[in-house]
Amino acid sequence: MKIEHLGIAVSNLEQSIKAFSDLLGTSPYKTEVVESEGVKTVFFQVGDSKIELLEATHEQSAIAKFISKRGEGLHHVAFAVDHIESEMERLKSEGYTLINESPKEGADQKLICFIHPKSTGGILIELCQDRP
């Protein structure tokens, strides 16, 4: 496994794009709206990993709820896996709570699954596999 990306919830995407462009000395390589999740995402490449900025597209979005509860900041850590379904099976059998029961389509050409933070020390974990 490696850290595929860190997901950061932001309330003002334009401002955060500027901040991370300044920090990293590079522009985002991709902007994508994931309608089903109610988010607009922006990706920066950082070595082998990425930073994903997430802004809510509507009030019912999980990102809007996260920010109103906890404020802006680290939202999830994403690990790259080769076989997402077998990883999901394995973690489920070890008692972890999966938020989605089958892999779903995420941003950046990935199949993804979220693991509930209550079983991972308060951090939302995302598993992701490149979409075939």
The answer to whether 7 contacts Zn ion (rule: CB under 5 A) is yes
Looking at the Cβ atoms of 52 and 87, the one nearer to Zn ion is 52
Cβ-based nearer residue to Zn ion, 6 or 21: 6
Q: Which of 100, 113, 106 is CA-nearest to residue 131?
A: 106
Give the residue from 49, 5, 53, 48 showing the smallest Cα distance to 32. 53
Minimum Å distance from CB 75 to Zn ion? 8
Residue whose pair of structure tokens reads 């999830």 in the numeric block: 76
CB of 7 to Zn ion, least distance (A): 4
Exposed (0-12), middle (13-18) or buried (19+): which is 77, by Cβ within 10 Å? middle
Q: Of 79 and 96, which CB lies nearer to Zn ion in the complex structure?
A: 79
Range 38-77, binding Zn ion (CB under 5 A): 52
Is residue 103 close enough to count as binding Zn ion by CB under 5 A?
Answer: no
